[in-house]
Amino acid sequence: MRYRCTVVHHRVEGGRYSFRYRLRMWLTDLDAPDRRGRLARLLREVRPADHLGDPAGRLRDNVDRFLRHHGIDLAGGRVLMLSQAAGLGYVFDPVTVYWCHDPGGRIVCVVLEVRNTFGDRHCYLVRPDADGPDGRTGSRFGKELYVSPFFPRDGHYAALAHLGETTVRLRLSLYRGGDRPALVATLTGVREPPGAWRDALATLTNPAAARWTTVRVHYQALRLRRRGLPRYRRRTHPPQSGVHPPRPPSPDHAPQHRHRHRHGGGAR
């Protein structure tokens, strides 16, 4: 399902600054097989390699593995994922949203997968403070990922995620002390009407749209830099269980094995 979305960032700390842009996102059932042809998948595809977990595994399995690290078992319930799609092998998805349901259709939790332009990734588990029939899920959690060079890695988020019949909404408010948020980012989307020609047009234009997101991010960063905002140093983001695949052992720490060689031959 295609959604026409609007992203709005409103910054308060360090001087008021706002921007908005539109983009197209897809809501994907992670258990539904993609039966499209090879060319269609090349132009528009949701790939495990672009998201959490094992890049060679199934995305649904990767989400379940992450949830198990937090003691959650969906028992086969649906996972609906809102994301952009890779086009010609490229995508930069600043935020991917996973609505995780139990077998009865109730939302158990929401996973927010956040990326920055430095290649770092972090997943936040949003447990509902108050989950109603309209699908609203809200929570507060500490900020763990360095996202913008104009904010340090501190403070906490207040999040609200909503999945309706034809609409989606995500609101992230960053607090760095006090009652007023330093930054409020919202994503709102409306489902586009179905149609073969609309889907074909969205697929054909997706490679350009996938790269346009990165251009927008760097353009806004340049505007903030020209305003003279202080920049904060980035530190290496530590691996997160269930999000980053285990690293293979380095040669210095690899187990040593004794080999028997014939005729003085070396090890292969």
Q: How many Cα atoms occupy the beta-carbon half-sphere of 71 within 13 Å?
A: 1
Bridge partners of residue 7, in order along the sequence: 21, 187
Q: In angstroms, rounded to a whole number, what is the distance separating the alpha carbons of residues 86 and 93?
A: 9
Residues 6+ apart with CB under 8 A from 41: 34
Q: pTM of the entire structure?
A: 0.88
**Residue corresponding to tokens 């198990």:** 68
Helix/strand/coil percentages in the chain, nearest 5: 20, 30, 50
Q: Which of 83, 76, 80, 63 is nearest to 3 (CA)?
A: 83
Is the pLDDT confidence value at 195 over 70? yes
User: In percent, how much of the chain has pLDDT > 70?
Assistant: 88
Q: What pLDDT shows up at residue 253? A: 46
Residue 18 burial (CB count, 10 A): 10
Cβ(114)–Cβ(94) below 8 Å: yes
* DSSP state letters, 189-203: EEEPPP-HHHHHHHH
The three-state secondary structure class of 51 is: coil
Q: CB–CB of 191/2 below 8 Å?
A: yes
Distance between CA atoms of residues 160 and 56, nearest Å: 31
Question: Over the stretch 109-149, which tens digit does the pLDDT of each residue have?
Answer: 999 999 999 999 999 999 876 544 444 567 889 999 999 99
Percent of the chain residues topping a pLDDT of 90 = 78
SS3 state of residue 99: strand
pLDDT (tens digit, 9 = 90+) per residue, 9-66?
Answer: 999 988 899 999 999 999 999 999 999 999 999 999 999 999 999 999 999 999 999 9
Cα separation, 215 vs 220, in Å, equals 9
